[in-house]
Structure 1
Amino acid sequence: MSQPYVVRYVGGPLDGRVDSLPSTPEDPKQTVTYVHLHGGPKIVHIYDLEYAVEYGCEYRLRGEEAEEA
């Protein structure tokens, strides 16, 4: 039995979300766009792909690295 491929989200409204895929995707998306609709203006968050050798990959909210520095 192989381990599932884990995708984590870091920052923004998806922070802490973890998705498990049955296998490694052949061509993972380089960016993920999350659109938040809440009765007001549309808010768009963009996540960029980064690989994590330990478990799969993670998507980091674009611009987070500048805020952490």
Structure 2
Amino acid sequence: MTAPSHVLEDDGAGGFLVRVGGEPASTVSPDTARPGLWISRDQHGSPMGRHHGREDRAEFLAT
């Protein structure tokens, strides 16, 4: 089994939309309170966690 492809799209506000298999999966944006971390949110805007890199989260969602 292979993981679906993922794409990061600039959201125009400093964050990124993560698409997995062409469908929106979450957004990631810089954490202003903790520089160097990224916050991921689900499609409804609820926080899902903090991560060290935006690509890390995109890869996680694609697996």
State whether TM-score is above 0.5: no
Q: Which has the higher contact order (CA 8 A, sep 6+)?
A: 1
What is the TM-score normalised by the length of structure 2?
0.33
What is the TM-score normalised by the length of structure 1?
0.31
